Structure 1
Amino acid sequence: MKYCRFQLSSRPQYGLVETVAGREEITRLLVNPPEDSDGDMEDVPTKRMEPVSLAEATLLAPIRSSKIVCVGRNYREHAAELGHDVPIEPLIFLKPPSALLAPGGQIRRPKISERVDHEGELGVVVAKTCNKIRPDEDVRPYILGYTCVNDVTARDLQEKDGQWTRAKGFDTFCPVGPVVSDEVNPWAGALVETRVNVEVRQQGSTRDFIFALDVVIRHISQCMTLLPGDLISTGTPAGVGPLVAGDVVEVSVEGVGTLRNPVVNE
């Protein structure tokens, strides 16, 4: 099952996304936000609507998160390309919800940064409240679904500051979408790919995570309560690189789709 959040008659709505005659369409409205479903999107009641092509809809970020928790250096080759050691436990940091950007929205390169990089990632949407998940507890009931994330980063400010809040936290620095899907199995390996102007820049598999998804979620839950709709961004493969005005960056996750955003100068 896949769902999106979109603008309909000047109001944000959630919609069920299905493939009809070879194209993805929004076929039914979700009566309640999916994050209120307590972990099972299939239980969300729906109502009829005139189908709309997903490609033609005005899409919004598919989540309303209280926080965005990111994992740094979760691929060995990415840690190596930045000259860092592999962490001994998941390295986590936060992006503010104000950084969220809808599919198609403009990534704005801030004037105070000379280098802004793309970082395509698999995103995990939290299904229900969790805290201090036990080592023997299955994390999958806490997962609502998966999405595409671009963890946009002002690389020069990251290196200058020594911590990552400013470099990761600018408005528009967290594009998310286009849908949330439960048709992904990160443990089996899902392809994550980033393209800039159609050229492949990053390509990796969730099978290559240093820390598997269950390890990541349990680790985060030991220090903070995760709430329904919260977003976990699971780390980026090697190949990060700069974006300039006029670029179009695409992040694709197998089983989700493609998140596409143009880049402009502030």
Structure 2
Amino acid sequence: MRLATIRHKGSTATVRVESDHSGVLVDGYASVGDLLKQDDWYKVAETANGEKVTFEEKDLDAVVPAPSKIVCVGLNYANHIKEMGRELPTYPTLFTKYPEALIGPYDDVQVPDYANSQLDWEGELAVIVGKYARRVKAADAEGYIAGYAVMNDYTMRDYQYRSVQWHQGKSFEKSAGFGPWMTTTDSFEFGGELATFLNGEKMQTTPTDDLVFKPADLIEYISHIYPLNPGDVIITGTPGGVGHARDPKRYIGNGDVVEVSIEGLGSIANKTVFE
């Protein structure tokens, strides 16, 4: 099952996606995040018989527009760790992104003039939490995952490397396309390709099961630090092929389009607009 948040009649609404441009409204829920707060959210969505609607790419909002937490994982694909000259980690490297960074899967990324000199691409798989998780064991973690989506995680490398903390380069306002929808766990299998394209040129590629720390490992680790709420998002890391690690380095320019595609989840594409 696929669930999306769409812009509808001056507000937003949750849709059970039936095709890439049509679905059925899940009445009473303004977003997928709101729906996930219901204990029986899956049944509610599966049995919804609301208005049939059509939508275009521009109508898609961030699939969860306002999660209470967005937890990012750095250095989690083996090939990216190696290209950055690091050893495989013993524990996940965590940092945070705020909801204000999220935009729709086809919205423009607006980049201020003071942060556009080292703009990099990072295609990532996002895990969406389906129920309250506190001190969960990895063996039980699958039951706490609602589904998966695609994240287009723009990174301002100059800001990122101003200090040893990465957060400031990873959470710029309206810099992360998120969607196109949530695909529930029973409709997705790991192992397909994650690929990132810059103006149609493939820059990153890896199988999604190349993660050092799998979603279950991350649920266990994070939920022993703080609880995770329904609708919270874990961004699992990016594969090798980022622009900053190339020789010579390569960055995103004004007007460039970054597309991220994950087999089984769909693709998203954001145009870069320098202010």
Does the pair score TM above 0.5? yes
- 1:185 offset after TM fit, Å? 2.2
1:263 maps to 2:265: no
Name the counterpart of 1:17.
Answer: 17
* Equivalence map 1:1-266=2 (5 Å): 1-19=1-19, 24-31=20-27, 32=29, 33-38=34-39, 41-44=42-45, 45-53=47-55, 55-56=56-57, 58-63=59-64, 64-113=66-115, 114-135=117-138, 137-182=139-184, 183-186=187-190, 189-241=191-243, 242-266=251-275
Contact 1:4 1:59 in 2 (8 A): yes
Contact 1:62 1:178 in 2 (8 A): yes
Size of the aligned set, in residue pairs, is 258
**DSSP-derived class of the 2:89 partner:** coil
- 1:56 offset after TM fit, Å? 4.9
**DSSP-derived class of the 2:51 partner:** strand
Unaligned ranges ≥5, structure 1: none
Per-residue CA shift, 1:6-34, capped at 9, x if unaligned?
A: 11111200111113xxxx23221012343
Contact 1:62 1:180 in 2 (8 A): yes
The one-letter amino acid paired with 2:238 is T
Structure whose residues are more often strand by fraction: 1
Unaligned ranges ≥5, structure 2: 244-250
- 1:258 offset after TM fit, Å? 0.7
Superposed CA RMSD? 1.7
TM-aligned CA distance change 1:25 to 1:224, over 3 Å:
same
In the superposition, the TM-score normalised over structure 2's length comes to: 0.88
Distance 2:81 2:169 in 1: 17
Distance 1:57 1:244 in 2: 22
Distance 1:231 1:115 in 2: 26
**DSSP-derived class of the 1:46 partner:** coil
Distance 1:67 1:202 in 2: 27
- 1:84 offset after TM fit, Å? 2.5
Runs of 4+ residues over 6 Å off in structure 1:
none
TM-aligned CA distance change 1:39 to 1:264, over 3 Å:
farther
Contact 2:58 2:106 in 1 (8 A): no
Per-residue CA shift, 1:86-134, capped at 9, x if unaligned?
A: 2111111110111111122111233223201110011011001111113
Distance 1:91 1:39 in 2: 33
The one-letter amino acid paired with 1:123 is A
Distance 1:146 1:106 in 2: 22
Identity across matched positions, percent: 35
Contact 1:119 1:150 in 2 (8 A): yes
Distance 2:86 2:74 in 1: 11
- 1:67 offset after TM fit, Å? 1.3
- 1:42 offset after TM fit, Å? 3.8
In the superposition, the TM-score normalised over structure 1's length comes to: 0.91
